[in-house]
Structure 1
Amino acid sequence: MDKSILRRNIINLYQFIKEYYYFILSPFIIVVFFLVYFNNQIEKDDIKENLTMTYGKIYGSSNIYKKYSKRNFRYKFTFDGKIYTGTSTGYITDGVKEGKIYKVEFSKENPRHNRMIFDIEYEQRLILDQKGQVADTSYVQVGQKFRNKMKEIVEEYKFKTDSIKN
């Protein structure tokens, strides 16, 4: 085959692709969109069917394109002695930031299918044994510790006033 014919064919192919690239790329874009959509749907269904909850801690974030308060937050949680990570979308204006703890919904069959719920912030409370070592961990809503302390004070005051009356 003559080099000039080959060169002309390549140029014609290039011009065709340049002019009709959107017809060529459209099927690929549509397939990728549906793969992402169905993968997300499968993940949501898996979480719904095998729902388990725990607590996770945010360790990083990145902003979403041209959105200043909406961010993708990266978090870690532990299940069956293994550490898993995830990403969920939240708002800085709601007070979501690194180091905070929130509930995580995940599939017990596949913990990689997970999402963080930013409704209520929690704080970690370590329960120590007699030797001062961590025996257990519990989580309470932020501000709940203060409410519990006030309730104890009120109960103690009530007890004192009841004993004075008798």
Structure 2
Amino acid sequence: MNEFLKSTWSVIKQFSIVAFAPVILIAYFSSQQKEEDIEKNKSITYGIVTRSTPLVKKFSKRIYHYKFNVNGKTYSGSSSGWISDNINYGNYYPVEFSTKNPEHSRINFEIEYSYVVGTTESGKMDTIYIPKSEIKIKISEEDKERIEKLRLSVETKN
């Protein structure tokens, strides 16, 4: 019996590539079809990063999961990224998706966005996404004076 198991395992090892090749090919072509669908029917929205999981333990590559809305319906996706890219939960990024099948999507981690809720000229509420690097903080004159006093007190101590 032990000899039978050894010979069976030997056969499995020899033909494992043949067994897994169709799975790898199907995954590859499925991925290519998804990318083509996004390119042909592309639209852009913004998604929020909801969580991440390590790709491989002790490495800085992670899978980031995100959600986005299209026509009132929520979709989710995932994409890989590096920890050094400062991708955190709750951050917003542009998501490219297929208008024919919004489940085909990809997120772009290059520029982080923040959302601002405002009122349009017609009086309707609307959400606008602005790159975080372009957000300007308004500081009151009172706060400017307090900051200046703190700066002066730090300079005099040094």
Q: Do Structure 1 and Structure 2 share a fold, with TM-score over 0.5?
A: yes
Unaligned runs of 5+ in 1: 1-7, 150-166
Whole-angstrom distance in 2 between the partners of 1:64 and 1:84: 22
**Which residue number in structure 2 is paired with residue 40 of structure 1?**
31
1:19-30 equivalences in 2 (<5 Å) = 19-30=10-21
Whole-angstrom distance in 2 between the partners of 1:104 and 1:139: 12
Give the residue type in structure 1 aligned to 2:28. Y
1:15-94 equivalences in 2 (<5 Å) = 15-66=6-57, 68-94=59-85
Rg larger for: 1
**Which residue number in structure 2 is paired with residue 97 of structure 1?**
88
* Structure showing the higher helix proportion among its residues: 1
**Which residue number in structure 1 is paired with residue 131 of structure 2?**
141
The total of aligned residue pairs comes to 137
Q: Could you give the per-residue CA deviations for residues 135-165 of structure 1, whole angstroms, max 9, x where no partner exists?
A: 1111001031218x6xxxxxxxxxxxxxxxx
> Could you tell me the percent identity over the aligned residues?
33
Whole-angstrom distance in 2 between the partners of 1:142 and 1:15: 61
Unaligned runs of 5+ in 2: 139-158
1:124 to 92, 99, 115: 115
Cα distance, 1:74 vs. partner? 0.3
Give the residue type in structure 2 aligned to 1:78. N
Q: Could you give the per-residue CA deviations for residues 112-153 of structure 1, whole angstroms, max 9, x where no partner exists?
A: 110100110000101158xxxx81111001031218x6xxxx
Give the residue type in structure 2 aligned to 1:137. T
Cα RMSD between the aligned structures? 2.4
